Amino acid sequence: DIQMTQSPSSLSASVGDRVTITCQASQDISIYLDWYQQKPGKAPKLLIYDASTLEVGVPSRFSGGGSGTDFTFTISSLQPEDFATYYCQQYNNLPYTFGQGTKLQIK
Amino acid sequence: QVQLQESGPGLVKPSETLSLTCTVSGGSVSSGNYYWSWIRQPPGKGLEWIGYIYYTGRGSHNPSLKSRVTISLDTSKNQFSLRLSSVTAADTAVYYCVTLHCSGGSCGFDNWGQGTLVTVSS
């Protein structure tokens, strides 16, 4: 299985901050990576696919990048509704695997 | 927009079989638009892909669950189902039914049910 490692596991930030989360795959996954946002008690929501393509309706303050084994997820200016847990997930190989999550908290 | 709703027992005894059904609205399980999938999340933990089934009946599941998983379609009811046998406390989780949409090599889990908590306990 491909292991997905996110860092940091948790992050405190303020409204308006720029934050970046990284995700590293244990082997080359090209650009076959998604990012999800999950709020407490809710199902995850797809934000980005193909490492950098925003899902329809997702605000442009969210962005993603990278290829191969190293990926980034950035929120350019944090909004109150962005405090949540974020997961990366690879779909290059079965079984699909997720990172352990990054919890973004209010400072 | 496809909508999904999980249903099934919230409590299952150890060694028994967990059975969940996902009712689909706004789309058809007989179409080739999606892979009909299950994902679970133990309380306070991360996400684990369980498996999927395609409208052809072809499917795949996570080898970590060995041969305990069965995913099936019921086209007459526009539903798909999950059966997980020989459950233990480690199978306690929120179970989500999800659509996996793939197009031109791009894939994403784009529609999610609200999730249902299944607790394994005697």
How much is the pLDDT for A12? Answer: 97
Query: Which residues are CB-contacts of A106 (< 8 A; sequence separation ≥ 6)?
Result: A12, A13, A14, A15, A83
Residue B54 forms contact with A (CB below 8 Å):
no
Q: A102-106 and A85-90 as β-strands: parallel, antiparallel, unpaired? A: antiparallel
Q: What is the pLDDT of residues A13-36, one digit of tens each?
A: 999 999 999 999 999 999 999 999
Q: Say yes or no for a CB contact (<8 Å) between B106 and A50.
A: yes
* Residue B100: pLDDT band with limits 50, 70, 90: very high
Written as six digits, the tokens of B58 are 């072809």
Residue B108 forms contact with A (CB below 8 Å):
yes
Q: Say yes or no for a CB contact (<8 Å) between B49 and A100.
A: no
Angle, CA B103 vertex, CA B99 and CA B104 arms, to 5°: 155
Residue A64 forms contact with B (CB below 8 Å):
no
CB B88 within 8 A of CB A30: no
Residue A52 forms contact with B (CB below 8 Å):
no
The segments of chain A whose pLDDT lies below 70 read: none
How much is the pLDDT for A103? Answer: 98
How much is the pLDDT for B103? Answer: 93
Is the pLDDT confidence value at B35 over 90?
Answer: yes
What part of A 12-31 touches B (C-beta under 8 Å)? none
Q: Which of B97, B98, B109 to mutate to test the interface with A (most CBs of A within 10 A)?
A: B109
What gap in Å lies between CA A100 and CA B48, rounded to an integer? 10
When pLDDT is averaged across residues B84-112 and rounded to a whole number, the result is 97
How much is the pLDDT for B66? Answer: 86
Q: Say yes or no for a CB contact (<8 Å) between B107 and A94.
A: no
Residue B16 forms contact with A (CB below 8 Å):
no
Q: Say yes or no for a CB contact (<8 Å) between B46 and A49.
A: no
What gap in Å lies between CA A15 and CA B119, rounded to an integer? 37
From B24, B19, B1, B33, select the one nearest B71 (Cα to Cα). Answer: B19
- In B, minimum Cα distance to A54 occurs at B108
CA distance B111 to chain A (A): 8
- In B, minimum Cα distance to A35 occurs at B108
Residue A103 forms contact with B (CB below 8 Å):
no
From A92, A15, A17, select the one nearest A49 (Cα to Cα). Answer: A92
What gap in Å lies between CA A5 and CA A87, rounded to an integer? 10
